[in-house]
Amino acid sequence: MRKFLLILILISLMSCSSSKSIDNQIEVLTIKKIECWLNLMPGGRPTFHYSGEIEIKDIKPENITFEYIEFLNEQKVISKSFPLYEVLFIDSVENKKALRMDFYSPKGIAVTDDMLKTDFIDARMIFRIDDAIIELIQTDIQLLRTY
């Protein structure tokens, strides 16, 4: 009986939800798209850019902030910035009011050697919802180049 109870407790602990997400979504935030590119056009210094969309469910717009975003190559941070973003109302999703957060890079993020050496990067996004910190991770984002 004790073994059964211990196993039941372990199973319930393992099934508890976490505030972190290794995939691209948790219950209230879903990554819809992320695009990243290097502007390597002649006539100016090379710059790194990104934009994307996050779907938000069951949260008031004033209760969420996009704290920062890190881009990684092989688990090494190659860029960290504070994205510009706007929260917009969209149609109801599954009879619940949904929001969309459009975000994009600030101007002038310098291109690094690590960025030039890779074709795919990962993004780690940190959000604050009320007093909770939420982390979303998107892996294998193609790093495009414009010439």
The domain spans of the chain are: 21-146
Q: What is the mean pLDDT of residues 53-73?
A: 94
Closest among 76, 15, 54, 16 to 135, alpha carbons compared: 54
And the tokens for 91? 């149609």
pLDDT band, very low/low/confident/very high, at 94 (cuts 50, 70, 90): low
Strand partners, 47: 39, 110
The mean pLDDT of 123-140, rounded to a whole number, is 96
pTM of the predicted structure, to 2 decimals: 0.79
Q: What is the pLDDT of residues 1-59, one digit of tens each?
A: 444 333 333 333 333 333 344 344 457 899 999 999 999 999 999 999 999 999 998 88
In whole angstroms, give the CA distance from residue 119 to residue 128: 30
Structure confidence at residue 89 as a pLDDT band (50, 70, 90): confident
Q: Give the chain's mean pLDDT.
A: 84
* pLDDT greater at residue 132 or residue 90: 132
Q: Buried b vs exposed e over 115-138: b needs ≥16 C-beta within 10 Å?
A: beeeeebbbbbebebeeeebbbbb
Q: For the domain covering 21-146, report its CATH number.
A: 2.60.40
Alpha-carbon distance 83 to 35, whole Å? 13
